[in-house]
Homo-oligomer: A and B are copies of this chain.
Amino acid sequence: MIKVIVAGFMGSMGQKTVEMIKQTDDFQLVAGLGPHAQEIDKSEYHLADDVQVFDQLNKVETDADVWVDFTLPNSAFENVKFAIEHGIHPVVGTSGMSDAHLTELTQLAAEKHVGGLIAPNFGLSAVLLMKFAQEAAKYFPDAEVIEMHHEDKLDAPSGTAISTAKMIAEAREQNPSASKTEATIDGARGGDVEGVPVHSVRLPGYVAHEQVLFGGSGEALTIRQDSFDRSSFMSGVKIAIPAVIKETSLMIGLENIL
């Protein structure tokens, strides 16, 4: 039985984590951390009576094995430091932590031999897409990325698409074909990420989707993932919880434990 504490248990992802833990036989929710946590009605947040709640990091006292964290970057940094120092394995779903903070936490985890994971994306399909794209790039140096999101997404390309393109660029063992194409309309050939064109579609109805297209002599390979809703993130968290216990360092990216 793996004992888990959830930081940010009152938020949307925190609550999804609470529910996932309940439905998993091998996991036990032992504590939650959140602002004003001591004033709440536990049942409203689907906590059993014996789950401890803390409203400040410095009050936390727990025998949890794993620390799941869905808080903002600054809190997450302090939380994870605390977790590592107390031998609790962090599983962190926060994106946007600074490089300095990531380095500090990685060093601390190495020192203390505490395995953990910080992942910007816990969606299994997205992470497998990146992994497979990286591997295919060895054989197919010619690749392009197309991502599709709802029209309210503020940035383009998506962070995942940029990461995918970078991974492809790094994994290539040959130069891509020298294309003779000239764009007669600016932008038609997409955005350039280290030599990999990235195309961003923004349309109502779409949720979050990514495709990688590879082409070679007489053939093509396409890898596509569709995220229909954020419930998909929980499959990744569920895989990460038992995995970090067996590790002795802090990893960045879910692909490292797949």
Pick the contact of A220: B155, B180, B226 (CB < 8 A).
B226
Is there a chain B Cβ closer than 8 Å to A100's Cβ?
Answer: no
Is A77 an interface residue when CB atoms closer than 8 A count as contact? no
Decide: A222 near B223, CB < 8 A? Known: A191-B186, A204-B177: yes
Which residues of B lie under 8 Å from residue A128 when comparing CB positions?
132, 135-136, 139, 221
User: Which of A48-94 touch B at CB < 8 Å?
Assistant: none
Q: Does A45 contact B (CB under 8 A)?
A: no
Interface pair A204/B142, CB less than 8 Å apart: yes
User: A181 to B203, Cβ gap below 8 A?
Assistant: no
Q: Are B223 and A216 in contact, CB atoms less than 8 angstroms apart?
A: no
Complex interface: chain B residues within 8 A of A177 (CB)? 151, 204
Q: Are B201 and A199 in touch, CB under 8 angstroms?
A: yes
Please measure, in the bound complex, the distance between the C-alpha atom of A144 and the C-alpha atom of B149, giving whole angstroms: 12
Chain B nearest Cβ from A163, distance in angstroms: 13
The answer, among B189, B217, B234, for a CB contact under 8 Å with A231, is: B217
A214 at the interface (CB under 8 A from B): yes
> A219, B205: Cβ atoms under 8 Å?
yes
B151 and A181: CB pair below 8 A? yes
Q: What is the copy number of this chain in the assembly?
A: 4
Q: In angstroms, how far is the closest chain B Cβ from the Cβ of A205?
A: 4
- Asked whether any CB of chain B lies closer than 8 Å to the CB of A13, the reply is no
- Which of B201, B215, B219, B228 contacts A123, CB < 8 Å? B219
A136 to B200, CA, bound (A): 21
Report if A225 contacts B (CB, 8 A): yes
Which B-chain residue is minimally distant from A138 (CB atoms)?
B258
Q: Is A8 an interface residue (CB 8 A)?
A: no
Closest chain-B Cβ to A121's Cβ sits at a distance in Å of 11
Q: Kindly list chain B residues whose C-beta atoms are within 8 Å of the C-beta of A181.
A: 151, 153-156, 200, 202
- Is A157 an interface residue when CB atoms closer than 8 A count as contact? yes
A to B CB contacts below 8 Å, 6 in the list: A144-B203, A188-B191, A203-B213, A205-B228, A218-B232, A219-B235
Can you list the 7 inter-chain pairs with the closest CB atoms, starting with the nearest? A203-B215, A188-B191, A185-B191, A218-B232, A219-B232, A205-B215, A218-B231
